[in-house]
């Protein structure tokens, strides 16, 4: 039942929840998850959040006590809170939105598998997560019981991979594969390991962020066993805000690294949560301190109810442009747009290259450091001159050249 709590009631309820949770035990964290209208016990809710909780139909609402503890009980602008608590915008659907904007279902030859790129597939391993992120682009699958992947479904997916020798790289995502039991994870990894042409396995998981205690020694042992000469295991996680970079998260990442797993980050660009230069820079600096390399920065998908999260396309480009020069290259994500309708991912980079001057064989660049124009030369024997956009006299004049 939805209640309206005062700040002192909320603080008391939080304290009680934290003390009855066996904090570092991931099963206790999951048992004590806060779901649906019970969120009202742990936040002083705004009108918009009350509507959001009442009218959200798209996705489960749930958070671990750990992730809840990172959020503000009384500040509705808290970035962590915005990823946990639905707001009224989430219940507003627009005609340009779709529950499957990437056409993953059409590109699915067997249940739970998307085969879009020749050499890699996306495997949907399960439909549960530790925290249901409001911006999740797999809302149609995550938290729906009809999407439950049975052992038989996974067997059919492995059969498909086995019969397609061009598949070298299997991205396991969900839901969250690390919300499966250890035994099921072990079985999945052993199946993949037994397929000769599968060289790479990637685990897409938000548990290092939302439930770091899930990354247990026992789990890492299993992963390490299959991280061998034949199979290389990578992990891509999703930190979206510097507040998520905690000591607990760092310890979880270090356990993965010890198991030989390379950890990368794919953050999602989210309006009023992380869509400013300094927040993104600080997030990626903290990630490097946790030895996590930047991988992607996603432009949010056009999923139903996503208007509260979407930013203009330019924002992502501006942020990546700002970061260049201020942090090592391994801390700068590639800004990607997963094209609607099954077009796959493309990267959009800041425009550092301004064009070519054929007369002098010169390239014109904009520097990220000096902010000035810098020139360099094309080789004398180049056969690629027609590749470059030619700068007109007017362009050159504008650039002061
Ligand atoms: C994102 C994605 C992949 C992996 O893409 P990378 O650019 O290699 O990380 C593979 N298959 C599908 C369907 C995807 O959406
Ligand atoms: S953890 Fe990933 S799949 Fe699960 S709700 Fe969050 S974004 Fe979606």
Per DSSP, 327 falls in state B
Structure tokens at 208: 């290092």
Q: Tokens in use for 139?
A: 């809302």
Give the separation between CA 128 and CA 136, rounded to whole angstroms: 12
Count, in order, helices (H) and strands (E) of the chain.
13, 14
Q: What is the pLDDT of residue 201?
A: 98
| Mean pLDDT of the region 306-321 | 93
- Give the C-alpha separation, 333 to 317, whole Å: 11
Q: How confident is the model at residue 152 (pLDDT cuts 50, 70, 90)?
A: very high
Strand stretches in 137-191, DSSP E: 169-173
Under DSSP, the state recorded for 232 is E
**pLDDT tens digits for 321-345?**
999 999 999 999 999 998 888 889 9
pLDDT category, 58, cuts 50, 70, 90?
low
The string of pLDDT tens digits covering residues 158-214 is: 999 999 999 999 999 978 999 999 999 999 999 999 999 999 999 999 999 999 999
d(CA 286, CA 283): 5
Radius of gyration of the chain (CA): 23
Count Cβ atoms below 10 Å from residue 309 Cβ, excluding itself: 24
pLDDT of residue 159: 98
Give the number of the atom of ligand 2 that is nearest the alpha carbon of residue 139.
Answer: 8
The pTM (predicted TM-score) of the whole model is 0.96
Q: C-alpha 20: how far from its chain's center?
A: 31
pLDDT beyond 90 at 148: no
Q: Which of 314, 384, 389, 401 is nearest to 349 (CA)?
A: 314
* Higher-confidence position of 308 and 190: 190
Best residue among 102, 128, 137, 142 to mutate for probing ligand 2's pocket (most ligand atoms within 8 Å of CB) is 142
Q: Please, which pLDDT band fits residue 104 given cuts at 50, 70 and 90?
A: confident
- Per-residue model confidence as pLDDT tens digits over 198-250: 999 999 999 999 999 999 999 999 999 999 999 999 999 999 999 999 999 99
Q: Which of 360, 305, 352 is nearest to 324 (CA)?
A: 352
Q: What percent of the chain has pLDDT over 90?
A: 84
pLDDT at 68: 98
Query: Ligand 2 centre and the CA of 128: distance in Å?
Result: 8
Evaluate if residue 90 carries a pLDDT over 70.
Answer: yes
Q: Please tell me the residue having the least CA distance from ligand 1 atom 14.
A: 122
Please state the φ and ψ torsions of residue 126, each to the nearest 5 degrees.
Answer: -170, 165
Q: Are 233 and 201 in contact (CB under 8 A)?
A: yes
Say if residue 133 carries a ligand binding annotation: yes
Average of per-residue pLDDT values in the chain? 94
Query: CA separation (Å) from 267 to 105, 275, 319, 388?
Result: 24, 11, 13, 32
Tell the residue nearest (CA) to atom 12 of ligand 1. 122
Residue of 61, 206, 209, 241 with the most ligand 2 atoms within 8 Å of its CB, for mutation: 206
Q: Is the CB of 147 under 6 A from ligand 2?
A: no
Length of the chain: 401
Task: Indicate if ligand 2 lies below 6 Å from the C-beta of 202.
Answer: no
Tokens 């747009």 sit on residue: 337
Beta bridge partners of 396: none
Q: Which ligand is nearest to the CA of 122?
A: 1
Mutate to test the pocket of ligand 2, among 138, 172, 214, 238 (most ligand atoms within 8 A of CB): 138
Phi, psi (deg, nearest 5) at residue 91? -90, 0
Q: How far apart are CA 131 and CA 66, in angstroms?
A: 10
Ligand 2, atom 5, lies closest to the CA of 132
Domains of the chain with bracketed CATH: 7-91 (no CATH), 113-347 (3.20.20.70), 353-399 (no CATH)
């Amino acid at each position: 039942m939805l209640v309206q709590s005062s700040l002192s009631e909320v603080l008391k309820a939080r304290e009680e929840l934290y003390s009855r949770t066996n904090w570092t035990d991931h099963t206790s964290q999951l048992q004590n998850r806060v779901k649906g209208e019970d969120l009202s016990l742990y936040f002083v809710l705004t009108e918009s959040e009350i509507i959001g909780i009442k009218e959200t139909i798209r996705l489960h609402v749930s958070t671990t006590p750990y992730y809840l503890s990172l959020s503000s009980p009384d500040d509705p602008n808290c970035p962590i809170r915005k990823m946990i608590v639905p707001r009224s915008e989430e219940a507003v659907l627009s005609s340009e939105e779709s529950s499957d904007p990437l056409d993953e279902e059409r590109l699915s030859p067997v249940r739970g598998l998307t085969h879009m790129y020749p050499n890699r597939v996306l495997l949907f391993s399960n439909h549960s997560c530790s925290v249901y992120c409001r911006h999740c682009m797999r809302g149609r699958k995550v938290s729906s019981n009809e999407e439950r992947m049975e052992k038989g479904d996974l067997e059919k997916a492995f059969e498909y991979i086995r019969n397609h020798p061009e598949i070298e790289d299997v991205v396991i995502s969900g839901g969250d594969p690390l919300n499966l039991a250890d035994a099921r994870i072990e079985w999945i990894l052993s199946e993949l390991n037994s397929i000769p042409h599968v060289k790479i396995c990637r685990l897409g998981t938000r548990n290092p962020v939302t439930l770091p205690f899930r990354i247990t020694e026992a789990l890492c042992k299993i992963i390490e066993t299959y991280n061998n000469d034949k199979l290389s295991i990578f992990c891509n996680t999703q930190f979206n805000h510097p507040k998520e970079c905690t000591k607990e998260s760092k310890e979880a990442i270090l356990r993965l690294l010890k198991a030989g797993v390379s950890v990368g980050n794919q953050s999602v660009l989210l309006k009023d949560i992380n869509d400013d230069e300094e927040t993104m820079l600080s997030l990626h600096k903290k990630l490097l301190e946790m030895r996590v390399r930047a991988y992607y920065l996603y432009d949010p998908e056009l999923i139903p109810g996503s208007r509260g999260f979407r930013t203009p396309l330019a924002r992502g480009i501006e942020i990546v442009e700002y970061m260049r020069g201020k942090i090592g290259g391994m801390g700068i994500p590639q800004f990607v747009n997963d094209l609607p309708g099954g077009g796959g991912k493309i990267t959009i980079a800041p425009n550092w290259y301004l064009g070519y001057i054929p007369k002098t064989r010169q390239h014109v660049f904009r520097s990220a450091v000096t902010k000035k124009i810098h020139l360099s030369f094309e080789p004398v024997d180049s056969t690629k001159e027609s590749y470059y956009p030619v700068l007109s006299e007017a362009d050159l004049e504008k650039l002061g050249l």
